[in-house]
Amino acid sequence: MRHTSSDVPQHILAATAAMLDEMDSANIRVSAIATRANVGVPSIYYYFASLPQLISLAQGLRHNELWAPLDDILVAMASAVDHQDEGAYWAAWDELFVVGWDPARRERMRHIAELMIDVRRDAAQSKSMREKQEHQLRQRIEVIDKAKGFGWIDPDVDARSLSLIFWGSFIGQHLNFGADLYDLEPEMVKMIFTKIIGGRRDPSDGSDN
């Protein structure tokens, strides 16, 4: 398939991202990317300064894809607090537990440590990712603080700490060598965080916990 000059970089990035789903970044070679993308090796170096930069940008694509469902849930949470819809707020939390600890996602997410290391190999990509994460952290803190204001969450819960604990546990489950002992089911995570949050009302029965 022939590509116009404007879409060649994106095609190369997509091909590299697909390869990263199949193997460790350390095993990827420029010649293999060229073959996968059906372009010449010179084309790769024309658009990208180095293999580490290309891998960093491709890992950024994978990061965005892996995090897209979580981003959508954050948007749903923000909408729920804006409309003061407690049922929708807790429904978003429930979805977050399911998506965040989905057994079907674990195999792809086990490479998250490598992804984060690779992203840092390009200064611009690393800066962009850091800014995005900081923005999302502020958003998570905001939706928790607003929920506290409505009495949905224990007012003594620190929104920043809760966000960081949740995020740390989400990332941490993937930073192991595949031992089943580290795998948690969504319902167990939900139960633990619900106890931490406090003040939750179950939308299914409309009664206070």
Q: What is the mean pLDDT of the chain?
A: 87
Distance in angstroms (rounded) separating the CA atoms of residues 89 and 161: 19
The class level of CATH for 1-48 reads mainly alpha
Per-residue pLDDT at 202 exceeds 60? no
User: Where does the pLDDT of residue 6 fall: very low under 50, low under 70, confident under 90, or very high at 90 and above?
Assistant: low
The 10 Å Cβ neighbour count of residue 157 is 16
Residue with tokens 């992203």: 119
- Segment 121-137 shows an average pLDDT of 92
What are the pLDDT digits (tens) for 70-122?
A: 999 999 999 999 999 999 999 999 999 988 888 777 777 777 888 989 999 99
CB atoms within 10 A of CB 190: 17
- Measuring CA to CA, how many Å separate 136 from each of 95, 113, 140, 143? 17, 19, 6, 11
CATH class of this structure's domain 67-208: mainly alpha
Query: What pLDDT score was predicted for residue 86?
Result: 95
Could you give the 3-state DSSP secondary structure of residue 202? strand
Nearest to 48 by CA among 19, 20, 15, 13: 13
The residue with tokens 């089943």 is 180
**Residue 8 above 50 pLDDT?**
yes
175-196: per-residue pLDDT in tens? 776 667 777 888 888 888 888 8
Domain 1-48 matches domain 67-208 at the CATH topology level: no
Domain edges within the chain: 1-48, 67-208
In terms of Cα–Cα distance, which of 190, 193, 24, 195 is closest to 102?
190
Report yes or no: 92 and 73 within 8 Å, Cβ to Cβ. Answer: yes
CB atoms within 10 A of CB 85: 15
